[in-house]
Structure 1
Amino acid sequence: MTTTTANTVTTVPRLAAALLATALSVGLTTVPTAAAPESPPGTPPGSAPAGNHLRPVPGTVLAPADIPDQNWSPGHRGVDLDAASGAAVRASAAGTVRFAGVVAGTPTVSVDHGGGLRTTYEPVLAQVRVGEQVGRGQILGELADHASLPGTARRDPGLHWGAVLGPPAEDAERYIDPMTLLGPVQVRLWR
């Protein structure tokens, strides 16, 4: 038999607040939730499925995305993730390698995930070929040593991970923050 009193009902929010305060005092750690299912066929471009991607490297965010309103405006079209030279760089989700080569001195790999979504990884020395099917978490290559790249190459530390959504045409594609592809995080508390 269960009885509910006004005191019990008000105790639950107080308990939740106490747990949150304890968590904040001892520190929080976030971990990704389970992968969401792939979007159903016919999902319109412009609605990227969240949750089915993983970080290409485990490092923290060194520089967040600053996606401009227009593709030609200044901004940071992706995130920079902390990683050391030689680190394995993995595909954030399954797809087809669309590009594996050098752009302005920067070794780059790009993966087409279907539905108008493409992710880009740089500077990455490719271990995959154009047209190759890759699985979620499969190694695409290794992070290049920034010091060994030519002067025209990207010089920011870590891995630059970008994402584009939409059909490849002038002004049809739009950059998105790739961190939104990871989906929600689950907060776990421990000491």
Structure 2
Amino acid sequence: MAPRRSEASVRRRWAAVLALCLGVMMAFVNITATVSALAAIQTDLHTSPSQLVWISSAYSLLVVSVVMSAGTLGDLAGRRLVFTIGALVFAAGSAMAVAAGSTGVLIAAEAIMGLGGAAVLPTSLSIVSHNFTDPQVRTVAISVWAAFSGIGLAVGPVLAGVLLTHFSWHAVFVPNVILGVIVLVATAVPTAVFVRRR
């Protein structure tokens, strides 16, 4: 009976890692997808060069500025809670970007997504690293986490290219909303990884 329980616990842990990694991928897809859509955005919204810079950098600027504080907040308030709030904020910012009709609104949406991404990144890594006690397994889990960040960066331009071929630039942000909802649903289910150390 004990081995079966152990196997079930391992499966739950890796299922939770997948949910965390989807959140990480979501945070990185936005970077390259937004850059790929800049030309279409500029044509549609008639943005100035300086505004275009803000559209492409507002997200990264917020992530870099807040990520350390978000990690500390996760340790104090609970990593799962901060991760979930981050995914929710990111999805809300993405929905705002989808509906944006002006440059100012789009920049604000990117900034909101940056706040969400700043909460998702450190808490997801912290949960992974603190909930695998075996050093070898922990290394594998962290490697998977890192791989999904690279996948996100690589998928962004491809996804943006496909969407821009058939739709307006607004569609580039729809996958962010979808991924955000999937992550929120996945983290709503209690798992060993999320519960063990907040």
| TM-score (norm: length of structure 2) | 0.23
Structure of higher CA gyration radius: 1
> Hey, which of these two has a bigger chunk of strand by percent?
1
| TM-score (norm: length of structure 1) | 0.24
> Hey, which of these two has a bigger chunk of helix by percent?
2
Q: Which has the higher contact order (CA 8 A, sep 6+)?
A: 2
